[in-house]
Amino acid sequence: MSFSCPSKDEKSKRGQAAVIVLCKQELLAFNLEEPKCPQIRKPYLFSLHSSPITCLRLFEGCSTELYQSLQEVRITSPPPREHVSDMGWPAMGGYVRQAEPTSFDILVT
């Protein structure tokens, strides 16, 4: 297990807002600003795990409407437990080369 504490202000390294924990089969984040340190909702629908992938399908050129509908399902789906933080996912990385993509490629496993 490994962990990191991203802060609101990366320059000062003070005021850690969350802790990110890399477990054996899952990446978790917890909100340190709330009393019970609730888990932060993951930016994907289902947990990643070490089960072998038995089937996959790539859907190319999916519409923006379909992609937004899938994002809505993720946002509105019931949390796995009652104590889930409203804080956004604290880890960011990379950059988007195109500001407004006209289509999306979706990999379903």
Q: Which region, left, alpha or beta, applies to residue 82 given φ > 0 means left and ψ of -120 to 50 means alpha?
A: alpha
More confident residue, 54 or 77: 54
Sign of CA dihedral 12, 18, 22, 23: positive
Residues forming a β-bridge with 39? 30, 84
Q: Supply the pLDDT for residue 60.
A: 94
88 has pLDDT over 80:
yes
Higher pLDDT, 32 or 102: 32
Mean pLDDT of the chain: 78
pTM (global) more than 0.85: no
Mean pLDDT score, 6-13: 56
Strands 39-40 and 84-85: parallel
pLDDT at 45: 67
